[in-house]
Amino acid sequence: MAFVVLDTDAASLAFRRRLPAGLTSRLTGHTWCITYVTVGEMTQWAQLRSWGTRNRCALDAWLDALVLINSSAETARLWGTLSGIGKQHGRSHPINDTWIAACCLTEDLPLATLNIKDYADFSTHHGLRLITG
């Protein structure tokens, strides 16, 4: 079974059962993964919305059921390279998107996203494979 990383937006839509049908069908048969960044962003989302224990437990259970992609020294070095290249060429990227891209590139995994523009540069210049809806 092939692995695919969900970016935070795709993961949050999947958690709320609002992932568009087109992307859902493209992800059928794949094992869903998330990065540590998405865990952090979704936990922050729950905190900012003052979720209660029941909803937080549901989120934690959903996140725990996915394969977690953690950082590594290799990922950190790649993040630094991607971030530096982007700044050198006037193409700065949001920090968390760069971390997610670095995780995918380090693990050689495709990224499922609805935010194509956020990852297009990583796809065009660094070989990040995108799965879009």
**CB-based contact 23:10 (threshold 8 Å):** yes
CATH number reported for the structural domain that contains residue 14 in this entry = 3.40.50.1010
What is the C-alpha to C-alpha distance for residues 47 and 8, in angstroms, rounded to an integer?
Answer: 16
Domain of residue 100: give its range. 2-131
* 6-16 average pLDDT score: 97
Counted domains in the chain: 1
Q: At what angle do helices 53-64 and 36-48 cross, to 10 degrees?
A: 170
Tell me the CA end-to-end span of the chain in Å, nearest whole number: 20
Confidence of residue 133 (pLDDT cuts 50, 70, 90): confident
Per-residue pLDDT at 5 exceeds 80: yes
